[in-house]
Structure 1
Amino acid sequence: MVTRRTVLGAAAGLGIGLGVGTGLGGALPAAAAAAPGGFPDYRFLGVAFDKNALAYNPTGELIFPCIRGTAGRVPNALGRYYLYYAPHDAPGGICLAYGDHLYERFTEYRGNPIVTRNWAPHYTVSHISSPHVMWNDDVNEMWLYFHGENTTTRLARSKNGIDFTYDKVVLSTSMLYPGATEASYARVFRHDLPAVGGRYVMLFMINDTTNRRSIGWGWSRDGRDWTFSQTPLIRPQDVGVQNISGPHLVKRGGSAYVIYHCNKEAGGTLLITEVGNGFTRRDHLGVFHTPLSGAPDNGRCAAPSFGTEGGVEYMFYEAGERLSGAIAVARAV
């Protein structure tokens, strides 16, 4: 049996959750197992929806799920949970699905894509992708971070999680060290860094002229204006692989960790590094989760997003080859 390693009670500020059941078609988890740092494992349940039945899926591949709860946040929401995702290849497009339970199949929003590659007068690009939505308690809004082109990460804002207003560019390669060629796949989390006056942390992928992808990071007081470290937070050579990407911040036992994926040639696994609450540690703990050898993972899992309900933990993730991926769901055991 191949299991999914994940964080019990680790989803930083998600406020989302699940009930008991197996509506996705998988078997109920049976026994717990220890993962690095004492985290539990995960077992695959099913896919969030049938990607081949979607009204909008122009490229046949989907990436970068982000799950968010709507209760107490979005009036008259379509469901208790909103699942954001996107194709990567052109034209991309930020998409939405919704549901009342994370263990059941989600329903595609018929207005997809909710954000496109053309948003006059703000930008026209070949594609947009990698949606990360953060509920911002400061302003009671859903904040959407997404990339397009690969050099640029942007912010849009919404009261209902569907209709977004463009805000600004929040990250570009020009803000990073010389030689940076990509700045994308960003996720933003509410996390205090008193030493630098930060209240939010951004994690993202950097590519550079060496063609090795690292995890970058930055901090902000308001989630709009950012200071970025000119040194990667985690380099692929630090963990013995060629490329790493798709970082997610999780918290457990009074410390902070980053979960991210490595290239398929290095195992296609999710890895975990403890960075501590002040982001001063670099304790590489090894494999957090191993992909299924068969469908839908086919040897690769990536870009996790976490949620809980009733004390049950779930992980949504990108399953399969990068250009043929689906959105899968696993449950802590």
Structure 2
Amino acid sequence: MRRFSTNPIIRPEMDAELGSNINGPSLIRVPAWVPNPLGKYYLYFAHHQGTHIRLALADRLEGPWRLYHPGVLGLADSFFAAHIASPDVHVLNEARQIRMYYHGCCLPTPPHQATRLATSADGLNFNARPEILGSSYWRAFRWQEAWYTLEMPGTLRRSHSGVTAFEQGPRLFTPDMRHAAVLPADDTLTVFYSNANDCPERILYASIRLEPDWHTWRPTPPTTLLRPETDYEGADCAIEPSRRGAVHHRVHQLRDPCVFQDEGRTYLLYSVAGEHGIAIGELTEN
């Protein structure tokens, strides 16, 4: 993967509001049908205990990126009480709609952290739906006229509409799986992910052959794609096993992968030094 020279594209010193926790990227190119866009690209991301979904704007992937105040989808409008995070955003051109799956806390019964859906016509103003769709940390994709999601720790769900009635399927990964990104291509799904308790936590990938019976899907053994190699990724910090939950200081860890495709190219965004910024690189054949 070719890391961008402008990394990290989101960093704490960009804006005092960002503080010491930055994670959960989801990037879109603003569709042409959105009137008066604020930039060519909208990058949604989060704080681990966020009161809203964050948004950064740019006209080039390399940046400069600027923070949009006051963010999008506040906690008061989310149907959750404690925090919201982990946006997973999709552009539906045929419906002229932008969908955002997001998780929140805390429900009195399991899953205590759950996912809901919000929709928007412009990527800025979202209307949340009260229905609980599943557990937390979703990545969604479409395959053969259905929507599938992968939630932490690697459990599949399926829905015809992608809006409601998500049927739970098998769990494909170990209980240590943390956050994932998905890249479908024909009948193959590539999953990028990290594991809590890895030493160091790093970005892995595995492939899944997509068969008509989704209960038969199985991932290949994982391969390491990225590990901390630069100071901004936390390579200057001590190597220690990672832990679940928020981290508010720099650590030797990478997590939160996000796949983005634009003009025939494929990119991967990820959280650096634990949850201390967001970087991006282009995925290449080698």
In structure 1, the partner of 2:274 is: 321
Q: What is the TM-score when the length of structure 1 is the normalising length?
A: 0.70
Structure 1 stretch displaced more, 309-318 or 62-71: 309-318
For the structure 1 residues 254 and 153, does the alpha-carbon distance in structure 2 shift closer, same or farther, using more than 3 Å as the test? closer
Tell me how far apart the structure 1 counterparts of residues 79 and 217 of structure 2 sit (CA, whole Å). Answer: 38
In structure 1, the partner of 2:173 is: 234
Aligned amino acid, residue 90 of structure 2: M
In structure 1, the partner of 2:31 is: 71
Aligned amino acid, residue 260 of structure 2: G
For the structure 1 residues 170 and 131, does the alpha-carbon distance in structure 2 shift closer, same or farther, using more than 3 Å as the test? same
In structure 2, the partner of 1:99 is: 58
Tell me how far apart the structure 1 counterparts of residues 274 and 156 of structure 2 sit (CA, whole Å). Answer: 26
In structure 1, the partner of 2:155 is: 216
For the structure 1 residues 232 and 94, does the alpha-carbon distance in structure 2 shift closer, same or farther, using more than 3 Å as the test? same
Instruction: Give the conservation status (yes or no) of the 8 Å contact 2:182–2:259.
Output: no
In structure 1, the partner of 2:84 is: 128
Structure 1 stretch displaced more, 250-259 or 162-171: 250-259
In structure 2, the partner of 1:187 is: 139
**Aligned pair 1:160/2:122, yes or no?**
yes
Tell me how far apart the structure 1 counterparts of residues 26 and 197 of structure 2 sit (CA, whole Å). Answer: 22
Instruction: Give the conservation status (yes or no) of the 8 Å contact 1:55–1:110.
Output: no
Instruction: Give the conservation status (yes or no) of the 8 Å contact 2:268–2:280.
Output: yes
Show CA shifts across 1:249-303 (max 9, x none): 2134642222211125343122222222234332324224122244322232222
Deviation at 1:187, TM superposition (A): 1.7
Instruction: Give the conservation status (yes or no) of the 8 Å contact 2:180–2:258.
Output: no
Aligned amino acid, residue 30 of structure 2: T
Tell me how far apart the structure 2 counterparts of residues 258 and 313 of structure 1 sit (CA, whole Å). Answer: 14
Q: What is the TM-score when the length of structure 2 is the normalising length?
A: 0.81
Tell me how far apart the structure 2 counterparts of residues 310 and 151 of structure 1 sit (CA, whole Å). Answer: 35
Instruction: Give the conservation status (yes or no) of the 8 Å contact 1:49–1:105.
Output: no
Instruction: Give the conservation status (yes or no) of the 8 Å contact 1:203–1:217.
Output: yes
Output aligned runs, 1:293-304, within 5 Å.
293-298=229-234, 299-304=252-257
- Paired-residue identity, %: 23
For the structure 1 residues 43 and 155, does the alpha-carbon distance in structure 2 shift closer, same or farther, using more than 3 Å as the test? same
Deviation at 1:248, TM superposition (A): 1.6
In structure 1, the partner of 2:147 is: 200
In structure 2, the partner of 1:30 is: none
For the structure 1 residues 124 and 245, does the alpha-carbon distance in structure 2 shift closer, same or farther, using more than 3 Å as the test? closer
In structure 1, the partner of 2:196 is: 263
Instruction: Give the conservation status (yes or no) of the 8 Å contact 1:170–1:224.
Output: no
Aligned amino acid, residue 227 of structure 2: P
Aligned amino acid, residue 160 of structure 2: R
Instruction: Give the conservation status (yes or no) of the 8 Å contact 1:268–1:290.
Output: no
Tell me how far apart the structure 1 counterparts of residues 90 and 119 of structure 2 sit (CA, whole Å). Answer: 10
Unaligned runs of 5+ in 2: 106-111, 235-251
SS of the residue aligned with 2:38?
coil
Aligned amino acid, residue 93 of structure 2: D
**Aligned pair 1:61/2:25, yes or no?**
no
Q: Which 4+ residue blocks in structure 1 deviate beyond 3 angstroms? A: 308-313
Tell me how far apart the structure 2 counterparts of residues 332 and 275 of structure 1 sit (CA, whole Å). Answer: 18
Instruction: Give the conservation status (yes or no) of the 8 Å contact 1:255–1:274.
Output: yes
Tell me how far apart the structure 2 counterparts of residues 137 and 199 of structure 1 sit (CA, whole Å). Answer: 16
Tell me how far apart the structure 2 counterparts of residues 226 and 272 of structure 1 sit (CA, whole Å). Answer: 29
What is the CA RMSD across the aligned residues, in angstroms? 2.2
In structure 2, the partner of 1:247 is: 180
SS of the residue aligned with 1:248?
strand
For the structure 1 residues 79 and 63, does the alpha-carbon distance in structure 2 shift closer, same or farther, using more than 3 Å as the test? same
Tell me how far apart the structure 2 counterparts of residues 107 and 305 of structure 1 sit (CA, whole Å). Answer: 19
**Aligned pair 1:87/2:47, yes or no?**
yes
Instruction: Give the conservation status (yes or no) of the 8 Å contact 2:4–2:62.
Output: no
- State the aligned residue count: 257
